[in-house]
Chain A
Amino acid sequence: MAENVKPRVRVPRTASAGEVITLKALISHKMESGQRKDGDGNTIPRSIINRFTCDFNGENIIDATFGGAVSTNPFMEFEAKVPESGTFLFTWYDDDGSVYEESKEIAVS
Chain B
Amino acid sequence: MKRSVSILIAVLATGGIALGQGMSPADVSYDEYGAVEVSLSGQPGNAEAGEKIMTTRGKGNCIACHQVDALAEYPFHGEVGPPLNGVADRYTEADLRGIVANAKMTFEGSIMPAFFKNSGYIRPGIAYTGKAAGPGDLFPILTAQEIEDVVAYLLTLKE
State if A and B touch, Cβ cutoff 8 Å.
no
Residues of A within 8 A of B (CB): none
Residues of B within 8 A of A (CB): none
